[in-house]
Amino acid sequence: QYIKIRNNFTQFKNDYNIDIKTITENYDRIRKELDEVIDSLNNKKGIKEENRKPEPVVISTHDLILEYRAQLPELKVGEKVLAKWSDDNWYYRSTVEKKIDSKEPSEENFLYKIKDSASDHEEIYREDIIRFKDNKENFNIGDFVVAEHPDFAQSFAPGQIIGIRSDCLIVEFYDSIEHRVETDTTYKIPSFKYQLDIDSIIKAERQWIGHKCVFRSSKKKRYETGEILGRLGNRKKFKILSDKGEEEIINIIHIFGNFTRKRPIRKDDFVLAPLDEYFFPGKVETCNENKENQIEVVFADKKRNDNVKAENCFWLSKEYYDDFVLFYESKETGTNKIPTVDASDFN
């Protein structure tokens, strides 16, 4: 019995040693294969990393503006330019009055005092000013530009070149209007500036929504008061509800209110002034020096008011006044000339 037990134990020991040996060999083989796979993957990763292109550096819009601003040439006093005015963020012919000194002597300011054709002033940064001599570049289809808009005389807006002719360019403006423009009055701008200009124009237009205003009523051929309900599409037109409950679609050039550019009113200026329960264009005949901010106005329909408060009036260009006279005396809706409009806040 003892011999039988010893033999069984010996057989068990031998079998156990064989199993341990097999397990050890299998483990070593699998471990070796895994190490080879890992080494192979690491080698491939190393090759990929060597060939991988560096990630593009993302530059913020603010940094783009600062970089672009610093690259532009300095302007000279008296130089004729196009400048973007903050009331509507369109570009208008202007003149450089002076460069504003920086508060820090070691830093350049890039800020200029600009005067428009109506002698209004505004401080404008260099990137929003275009020199007339900057239109000498060659143009290509797809270029972003600032050009004179066909619907608004002497007013320049962002657009993109979609066609080139021997004597002109075909530009699609930000409001989807396509028109032929002269090469000599078209100015190339960077793509990021094009988008910034569009965004600023739309923002300026949207700020009118919900505000009271004075607007030119095509139905009554005079200026009524009302509230701006909304902006229609991208064509500078608004839906307005008059204080008498009537709705009209009005072009922004015929809307006056809190966001109209301010301007002092002087003798012989043309103004939009209150008359009875509405507003009407007229000419300032006298500024009463004895009574503060009181003016005498002779209206386009020959009526007059000797007791008008200047702060309740809106300054008009002669072009705009003449356009209204044509509109008033005819059955048409007037021309599309855009005025240079300034006024005190309308309350």
At 76, which CATH number? 2.30.30.140
pLDDT at 336: 44
pLDDT average, residue stretch 52-79: 83
DSSP 8-state assignment for residue 194: H
Report how far residue 237's alpha carbon sits from residue 255's, in angstroms, rounded to the nearest whole number: 10
Residue 227, both tokens: 């509230």
The domain of 237 spans 207-343
**246 in any annotated domain:** yes
Q: Is residue 59 part of a domain?
A: no
pLDDT higher than 70, residue 241: yes
Angstrom distance (rounded) from CA 133 to CA 77: 15
* Residue in the block written with tokens 């913020």: 60
Please tell me whether residues 91 and 31 are part of one structural domain: no
**Does residue 253 sit in the same domain as residue 309?**
yes
344 against 45, higher pLDDT: 45
Q: Are residues 86 and 161 in the same domain?
A: yes
82 and 172: one domain? Answer: yes
The reported pLDDT for the residue numbered 115 is 94
**Which of 161, 178, 197 is the C-terminal boundary of a domain?**
197
DSSP-based three-state secondary structure for 311: helix
Q: Report whether pLDDT(21) > 80.
A: no
Q: What is the pLDDT of residue 287?
A: 85
113 or 4, greater pLDDT? 113
Which of 179, 197, 215 is at the close of a domain?
197
Q: Are residues 220 and 339 in the same domain?
A: yes
Quick one: 169 and 214 in the same domain? no
Q: Is residue 64 part of a domain?
A: no
Contact (Cβ atoms closer than 8 angstroms) between residue 164 and residue 138: no
Q: Are residues 89 and 188 in the same domain?
A: yes
Closest CA to 271 of 243, 297, 232, 306: 297
Q: Are 252 and 299 in the same domain?
A: yes
Dist CA 57 CA 237 (whole Å): 40
Indicate whether 152 and 231 sit together in one domain.
no
- Pick the closest to residue 252 from 260, 262, 242 (CA basis): 260
Q: What is the pTM of this model?
A: 0.73
What local confidence, expressed as pLDDT, does residue 335 receive? 46
pLDDT value, residue 39: 72
Q: Is 66 a domain residue?
A: no
Identify whether residues 283 and 337 lie together within a single domain. yes
Residues 275 and 256 occupy one common structural domain: yes
Domain count across the chain = 3
Residue labelled with tokens 């809106």? 314
Q: Does residue 202 fall inside a structural domain? A: no
Task: Give a yes or no: residue 63 inside a domain.
Answer: no
Indicate whether 207 pLDDT > 90.
Answer: yes
Query: Is the model's pLDDT at 58 over the cut of 80?
Result: no
Here the tokens at position 310 are: 């200047």
Query: Same domain, yes or no, for 82 and 171?
Result: yes
Give yes or no for residue 88 having a pLDDT over 60: yes
